[in-house]
Amino acid sequence: MSSSTVTEATSTSPPKSTASLRHRLAERGVDASLLMLVPALVFALALFVYPFSYGIGLTFQPSPAIQQAWGGGLFANYVAFFKDSFTFDSVWLTMRLALPVAIFNVLASIPVAFKLRQRFRGKKLLTTLVVLPITLGTVLTAQGLLIFAGRQGWLNRFLIQIGLVDQPIAFVNNYWGVVFSLVISGFPFAFLLISSYLSGIDPSIEAAARVMGANWHQRFRRVILPLLAPGLATTSILTFVLAFSVFPSARLVGDAMGSTRVMSLMAFRAFGEQNDYPMASTIAIMMGLVELVVIALVLVWRSSMYKGSTGGKG
């Protein structure tokens, strides 16, 4: 009898609230503080939602030249993207740059972040040196690379003078030039992110593993890595996106029409040289799609990892 009344009480809706409408709305999070979202909303609408939708719309308005060359009616731009090997190859060329760079930046940051987590003399100086390149713009980095590592640069002259090589090595104006530039600008970023994830792991967890008999290799593989994995996933996504959208360095220190003909360059070419807005938009949208696929793959992998608290201040 008593149990039936209890179920009845829970199944029927609770008695009507006597609080004012304003109070009830506030309970659901509707109050004046929502106004604080207005600037962000305006910006998002004006600078992202509208241009983005406009761009998508443009991709379905192919220019007559494209329609004639590739057919496909409304989808002519997309047909052109996939069938024109000059355009489509840029997906592979960009991937070939962005993936290794993102993986390298993340992997190289882990030991550095580990070392800089400890306390030692000169730690601040070292951290500053590691992070400093983030303040240099891409153009400055490219300029520096050209001067330092170009055919007549200090590096090549030094290598020739000490007799290591007889011909200058082509460090720039090719694939490697862009890789160096992306590492210089991406590594501090990856390092900062991983450091903050690492500082979120309570050091006593590692100490516990140590007292329990785990050597550094076991501690890293069985304790630190699983706890750091979500952070590694996020960091790789962000460094990948940064590297994938490479534009200035691909042009300045790369081989813009050859090995570093990245997607953003192709989009710029369609827009700036061919005045084909719709095609440029199509390439940009495809760029986003490729990034989304990679991000989705990383997130799927991440979802299989532990996601909860790591016990630290993080």
Select 91 or 209, whichever has its Cβ closest to other proteins: 209
List of residues contacting other proteins (CB under 8 A): 202, 204-205, 207-215, 218, 222-223, 226-227, 305-306, 308-311
Is there a contact between 169 and 180 (Cβ–Cβ < 8 Å)?
no
Select 47 or 225, whichever has its Cβ closest to other proteins: 225
- Name, in order, each residue with C-beta under 8 angstroms of 249's C-beta and a sequence gap of 6 or more: 138, 141, 142, 177, 178, 181, 182, 185
3-state SS, residue 259: coil
Select 140 or 225, whichever has its Cβ closest to other proteins: 225
Select 29 or 213, whichever has its Cβ closest to other proteins: 213
Q: How far apart are CA 270 and CA 86, in angstroms?
A: 12
In 3D space, the residue among 242, 248, 204 whose CA is nearest the CA of residue 224 turns out to be 204
CB of 168 to other proteins, least distance (A): 49
The pair of structure tokens assigned to 42 is: 């305006």
CB of 122 to other proteins, least distance (A): 15
Is there a contact between 183 and 136 (Cβ–Cβ < 8 Å)?
no
Select 56 or 212, whichever has its Cβ closest to other proteins: 212
CB of 184 to other proteins, least distance (A): 34
CB of 106 to other proteins, least distance (A): 20
CB of 121 to other proteins, least distance (A): 11
CB of 307 to other proteins, least distance (A): 9
The Cα-based distances of 249 to 3, 134, 164, 246, 263 in angstroms read 72, 15, 28, 7, 13
CB of 78 to other proteins, least distance (A): 43
Q: How far apart are CA 277 and CA 62, in angstroms?
A: 9
Q: How far apart are CA 10 and CA 6, in angstroms?
A: 6
3-state SS, residue 138: helix
DSSP secondary structure letters along 32-60: GGGGGGHHHHHHHIIIIIHHHHHHHHHHT
Select 22 or 221, whichever has its Cβ closest to other proteins: 221
Select 208 or 296, whichever has its Cβ closest to other proteins: 208
In 3D space, the residue among 195, 215, 226 whose CA is nearest the CA of residue 118 turns out to be 195
CB of 120 to other proteins, least distance (A): 12
Reported as type and span, the H/E element at residue 102 is helix 85-117
Select 204 or 274, whichever has its Cβ closest to other proteins: 204
Select 61 or 204, whichever has its Cβ closest to other proteins: 204
Q: How far apart are CA 186 and CA 239, in angstroms?
A: 6
The pair of structure tokens assigned to 253 is: 């220190």
CB of 219 to other proteins, least distance (A): 8
